Structure 1
Amino acid sequence: MNNKKKKKTHVPFRLNMLFFVVFLLFSVLILRLGELQIVFGDDFKREIQRTEDVTVNNPVPRGKMFDRNGKVIVDNTPLNAITYTKTQKSTQKEMIDTAKKLAKLITMDTSKVPIRDKKDYWILKHPKEAKAKITKKEWDLFKEKKLDDKQIYKKQLDRVTDDEINSIQGKELETLAIYTQFNSGYALTPHIVKNKDVTPEEFAIVSENLESLPGVDTTTDWDRKYAFEDTLKSILGDVSSSQSGLPKELLDKYLARDYSRNDRVGTSYLEKKYEDVLHGQKAKVKNVTDKSGNILSTEVVSEGKRGKDLVLTVNMDLQLQTEKIIEEEMWSAKQKPNTGLLDRAFVVVMDPHTGEILTMAGKQIGKNKKTGKTEMQDYALGNFTSSYNVGSAVKGATILTGYKTGAIKPGSIQVDEPIKIKGTQVKKSWKTFGAINDLRALQVSSNVYMFKTAIAIAGGHYKYNQPIDLDYSAFETMRRSFSQFGLGSRTGIDLPGETAGVTGTEKKPGLLMDLAIGQYDMYTPLQLAQYVSTIANGGNRIQPHIVKQIREPVMENNELGPIIDDIQPKVLNHIDMKDQWIKRVQEGFRMVMQVGDGTAVSYFKSAPYHPAGKTGTAQAFYYGKDRSKWGTPVMNLSLVSFAPSDNPEVAIAVLVPWAYQGNTGPSINNIIGRRVLDAYFNLKKTGQATETTDTNQNNQ
């Protein structure tokens, strides 16, 4: 009995202890909860409500380009576009699911899906098969940490077969193409998924289903539109696509200037040179997100503004007519014998007083990349990126250099006769003229007069079939003088990629004489235009430019806004020559085209605008596209001119490399030059040659 009582007394004691311990634990819990709520409650509340402001820049259309008379050359054409904005919490599964839904609504180009993306996608969709591609030994090495995740994954990639890659077909492949675009964007930044050939039906059905397509949106994008197709295309330049985005080599530069990685930028020539002007001011949108990355609200910080517009110096009417003339005369010349290597021609028309390029035309015969057919292609950029022997067109610079060095004086007489230096071949003019002065030498294009002038510059004394001792510093003397006109030096045009030409490296008596007649160093067509402009305007080497004005953009179609910057003429240097010397060369150039047996009289004497100029024929060697013909002797034809001769308002340079083989061929340089000058002065009659139409005079 006593034992039973003891047990009963012991059991309630244990229960009481248990209840007491539970009581203590609940007390501690209540105290802790109270501490969290009362002491730290506000801190945790603020943490839960914490948001993040993320500002996103949205691109705007680029600025337009107009010709000098207000005609639109480059515009923006609107495009229906489908975009995707990845949030900070977007998962791979969610993006693939959305891509699959979108693939049912649109047709997606799959031709550009990278092989690597196909492999990644296959591994993602076939995890068991992908795991089986790793051997047991390799998994053991992985467990032993002798192989890491990247190494294992690389082995899986390497072992995905072509059959497995090619198993991704149809809508699944379109899903992958869409997912690839989704994945290439950046968080909270709209990324173009498709903007080419988006049909109205696709645009409408995607717009109707946006609620079931998280991150997807429809908008209006833009693309560059070239009003005159390929005309001047090589100079206008290119813009990157939204897929290619920023060029890799300039990535850091653009990112530092607030660009996004998928922004479109100018990648060549005018589009690249004036990127800062054309790019515009981005629209800034502030997205407020919670700490999970959910967008709570969106606020427009600043409206975007289309890029500023460029007004070019080019007259598109003259440009188009010039290109037509080049094409017609090249095809015509190609019908004649010995013109098999003729494949290009260049024309630059320039205001000799302002440096404004009225026309920069270049054409090249080549194969169409799509059809394989032979066609005439734009090669305007060749006017300043390619150089050639130009022949006698440079003789004005030779005469003026002779005056400056004292080798000759205005009116100096020299005998035009075959030149023979011991150990060299005979060098002569195209015809023997006997005793002639400097003006006559220009009029009939005497080589010998220039040879003897160059010998005198070098301090030499010529005797038939005798060795001659020359001071070879004459090469530098002549080149320094020529560069004052722009020959052999960059013209300074406002376009990237200009070449200075090619300077010969050897120094021999015969080569010095060749330099004097334009058959040694090589010059660009644009350098010829600057050279003849320098003579035409009385000695000022003017910097050529193709941008005339920068203007504010306006919303109205094809309307010019207020002027921001009006590009003024810039004199690079004044040639160190007496005015009467320059006027004498101007007179010699007039005689070439208007007096007696001048080399261009038969083409220009009848011109009512009374031009002056100089023709050129250079014995050169072919180095064009057909490498099997490299080194073939050919004739380059050139022409420089200005008009009217007594009051120059326009200067022109024509260069036709590799015009023909042999001693005679078509004078395509003179024919093109005459027709282009005719076109200029005919347009002038209608007031369309040089005036700039201004639709907003009151805004200036």
Structure 2
Amino acid sequence: GYLNSISRDEWRKYRSLGYTLDAQIGVYGIERQYEAFLKGINGALIIESGKDPGGRFRISEVPAVPGNDLVLNLDARLQSVAEQALAEQVRLINSDPKKRKVSHASAVAMNPNTGEILAMASFPGFDPNVWVGGISSENYRAFQPSQQNWALQVPVPPGSTVKPLTLLLGLESGVVWPGRLIHDPGKLQIGWDRNRDPHYFYCWNHAGHGNVDARRAIAQSCNVYMYQLSLWLGNYSQSKDATQWLKTELPIAMKRFRDYHNAFGLGVSTGIDLPEEVYGRFQTTGQLADLPFASIGQNQAYTTLQLVQYASMLANGGKRMEPHVVREIRSFDGKTVKRIEPKVLDRVKIDPNNLRVVREGMLDVTAKPYGTAYNTFRDAAYTIAGKTGTAETGQGEDNALFVGYAPYDSPQIAIAVVVPEGGHGSDSSGPIARKILDAFFQEGISP
């Protein structure tokens, strides 16, 4: 964040709080969020009317009191690794002349048990000091691409990273069970087109995955499995009157999806102690395609921060922890003014057996040769449950995402990485996550 002068629109509010017109206030980021704690008390020289017997004015001084200091949860080294990993990966992607250029990326690492933000990196970054005292129109245009916190303010389609949530909803609802096989020939008929010809929704693997159970559906990121699961959740079949079903049952099914996403922190406020958060969206069009698209993360847009909160809930068993950047507020003389304690915002009741199946599928993503992130993590010194995501944009390259947590058996860190228009999640976001996790576990950063 950074400081700046009080704007005309806010002057009345700050004047009522005792600020002077020339005061500098926090206008962005942590400085704005914690302005009330960071502000000190102005000093003053008091000149009394009249003079003393010696003919001198009586002058007394009221000393200034410094504001408080903030102690952050961010680990400086892990933050540096995250920023460098984003920059290196974007440069690598952009070195390919055949690909669309990537303009930004973000990564967030969080302690899933406490909500402490361990790293929050946004590429490209910016020097907040440039904004102090105002900025010229020329510099504003130059800095405009980097002025946002991409982890907090820019929602993107999550793609396959929501498939563990789709599976969990299906397991909890009883429409599937772990060993139930769904055949994937590479496509699934869902309704008809305008000419009454069969309308197909395709798997990313057009050759199909064959017979797929719950765990393989996550490990191989099988679209057809999720499509069929969504139809069962929506109580849809080809024999039903589609017109009537669209009016009566589709809205119920989509609300069910939306509510479940919201319960896991997707599309709602995460509670972060930063003021610029954007909540994202869950989109519906009233068409049959809403269901399959919702099941694979194509009809939503969420932030990197929301995705890491969701991954944390899978790691900790359903507790939605409030993410916080600040750990402690201290007075200028080192005394603790306030300590930010872990806060559970909500809990989602989950059958432990169903959660275990989802987690095992996410482990297979990185640990089994057929897992979509196996090549990225196969030689890692730690176990990680993860999920890659590749979301179509309709504008060229797909969005690349990765979410996960580690170690698998005793989670200490959850992570989310987003590279818009970066291509495949396993190729673009996975390597970034790997570098951050390697630093966390190999350099003694972990608790």
| TM-score (normalizing by structure 2) | 0.88
Matched, 1:298 2:62: no
The answer for the alignment partner of 1:364 in structure 2 is 124
Query: Is the radius of gyration larger for structure 1 or structure 2?
Result: 1
Matched, 1:642 2:373: no
Local SS of the residue matching 2:161: helix
Report the CA distance shift for 1:504/1:363 in structure 2 as closer, same or farther (over 3 A): same
| Aligned-residue offset at 1:311 | 0.6
- Is the contact between residue 215 and residue 361 of structure 2 (CA under 8 Å) also seen in structure 1? yes
Amino acid at match of 1:318: L
Amino acid at match of 1:397: L
Identify the match of residue 457 of structure 1 among 233, 236, 239: 233
Local SS of the residue matching 1:249: coil
- Is the contact between residue 317 and residue 350 of structure 2 (CA under 8 Å) also seen in structure 1? no
Local SS of the residue matching 1:426: strand
Q: Deviations over 1:196-224 (max 9, x none)?
A: xxxxxxxxxxxxxxxxxxxxxxxxxxxxx
- Is the contact between residue 343 and residue 365 of structure 1 (CA under 8 Å) also seen in structure 2? no
Structure-2 separation of matches of 1:411 and 1:562: 57
Local SS of the residue matching 1:323: helix
Local SS of the residue matching 2:403: strand
Identify the match of residue 192 of structure 2 among 394, 415, 422: 422
Mapping 1:194-233, distance limit 5 Å: none
- Is the contact between residue 376 and residue 431 of structure 2 (CA under 8 Å) also seen in structure 1? yes
Report the CA distance shift for 1:387/1:273 in structure 2 as closer, same or farther (over 3 A): same
Local SS of the residue matching 1:637: strand
Q: Deviations over 1:172-215 (max 9, x none)?
A: xxxxxxxxxxxxxxxxxxxxxxxxxxxxxxxxxxxxxxxxxxxx
Mapping 1:192-591, distance limit 5 Å: 237-240=1-4, 245-289=5-49, 296-300=57-61, 302-364=62-124, 381-417=149-185, 418-420=187-189, 421-423=191-193, 425-431=199-205, 432-462=208-238, 469=245, 471-472=249-250, 473-554=252-333, 561-591=334-364
Mapping 1:3-22, distance limit 5 Å: none
Task: Give the RMSD, CA atoms, in angstroms.
Answer: 2.8
- Is the contact between residue 388 and residue 426 of structure 2 (CA under 8 Å) also seen in structure 1? no
- Is the contact between residue 399 and residue 425 of structure 2 (CA under 8 Å) also seen in structure 1? no
Local SS of the residue matching 1:615: strand
Structure-1 separation of matches of 2:232 and 2:182: 11
Q: Deviations over 1:532-577 (max 9, x none)?
A: 00001111111111011101113xxxxxx12221111111111122
Which gives a bigger RCO, structure 1 or 2 (Cα 8 Å, sep 6+)? 2
| Aligned-residue offset at 1:581 | 1.5
The answer for the alignment partner of 2:134 in structure 1 is none
Gaps of 5+ in 1: 1-236, 555-560, 622-631, 692-700
The answer for the alignment partner of 1:682 in structure 2 is 442
Structure-2 separation of matches of 1:410 and 1:444: 15
Amino acid at match of 2:412: E
Matched, 1:668 2:428: yes
- Is the contact between residue 365 and residue 377 of structure 1 (CA under 8 Å) also seen in structure 2? no
Structure-1 separation of matches of 2:235 and 2:262: 21
Mapping 1:114-153, distance limit 5 Å: none
Structure-2 separation of matches of 1:620 and 1:671: 21
Structure-2 separation of matches of 1:618 and 1:530: 19
**Identical-residue share of aligned pairs (%):** 31
Amino acid at match of 1:649: Q
Local SS of the residue matching 1:640: strand
Q: Which runs of 4+ in 1 moved over 3 A?
A: 368-380, 466-470
Q: 468-477 or 632-641: which moved more?
A: 468-477
Local SS of the residue matching 2:398: strand
Structure-2 separation of matches of 1:570 and 1:269: 21
Gaps of 5+ in 2: 131-136
Structure-1 separation of matches of 2:89 and 2:374: 20
Matched, 1:659 2:422: yes
Structure-2 separation of matches of 1:316 and 1:571: 26
| Aligned-residue offset at 1:340 | 2.6
Amino acid at match of 1:477: R
| Aligned-residue offset at 1:453 | 1.1
Structure-1 separation of matches of 2:211 and 2:8: 64
